[in-house]
């Protein structure tokens, strides 16, 4: 299964889909401030500022699609690492089952105010991460960001925490939208080739 995005499948199948390598986001995306939704004084922030916000955000909302087409949205923590957002979930949870049928996701973070703060919307495909070496690095990143409560052991391509285990997914952004709220209001799009 080739998506045409430079990602190639591995032999192992997980959650109903092949595990794939995620090409990290490197370089500068095409950046565009949308004047229709931005104050005249607004400027597009650099991608590095959006990356900083993604790395610092504690909570994201993930949107997936059920096999019958109905949307599903739930909050979760995520880690920005190597040019991708990473999240984990139980293999039998709704979002994992949705991703087995449709890997397209949206992850959103920001504030619940209309006149201050900054919101980010990340569009991409969720790809399973099963390499134990990579998972060890991600487990360390989770604990560094969220503390000892989020300590994971790594075995057999999974995070383990207590009696349960979780699968880990990476989402390399295809398109990211940024919404500046308050003076000046702005809407920026970062698109990766």
Place 193 in a pLDDT band, splitting at 50, 70 and 90: confident
All domains of the chain, ordered by start, with CATH? 31-191 (2.30.110.10)
- From 14-18, 30-34, 119-123, 186-190, the region with the lowest mean pLDDT: 14-18
pLDDT band at residue 187 under the 50/70/90 scheme? very high
The strand pairing partners of 80, in sequence order, are: 85
Q: Are 175 and 123 in contact (CB under 8 A)?
A: yes
Q: Convert 129-167 to b/e letters by CB count within 10 Å (16 or more is b).
A: bbbeebbebbbebbeebeeeebebebeebbbebeeebbb
* pLDDT reading at 160 higher than 50: yes
The first and second tokens of residue 51, run together, are 């990356």
pLDDT band at 26 (very low <50, low <70, confident <90, very high): low
For residue 169, give the H/E element and its range.
strand 164-180
Burial grade of 41 (CB within 10 A; 0-12, 13-18, 19 or more): exposed
């Amino acid at each position: 299964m080739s998506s045409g995005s430079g990602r190639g499948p591995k032999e192992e199948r997980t959650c109903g889909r092949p595990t794939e390598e995620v090409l990290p986001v490197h370089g500068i995306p095409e950046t565009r401030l949308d004047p229709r939704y931005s104050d005249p004084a607004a400027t597009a922030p650099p991608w590095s500022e959006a990356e900083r916000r993604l790395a610092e955000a504690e909570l994201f909302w993930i949107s997936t699609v059920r096999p019958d087409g109905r949307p599903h949205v739930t909050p979760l923590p995520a880690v920005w690492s190597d040019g991708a957002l990473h999240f984990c979930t139980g293999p039998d949870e709704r979002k994992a089952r949705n991703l087995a049928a449709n890997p397209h996701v949206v992850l959103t973070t920001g504030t619940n105010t209309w006149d201050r703060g900054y919101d980010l919307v990340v569009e991409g495909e969720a790809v399973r991460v099963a390499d134990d070496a990579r998972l060890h690095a991600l487990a360390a990143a989770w604990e560094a960001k969220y503390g000892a409560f989020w300590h994971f052991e790594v075995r057999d391509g999974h995070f383990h925490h207590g009696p349960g285990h979780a699968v880990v997914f990476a989402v390399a952004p295809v398109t990211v939208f940024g919404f500046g709220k308050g003076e000046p209001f702005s809407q920026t799009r970062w698109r990766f080739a």
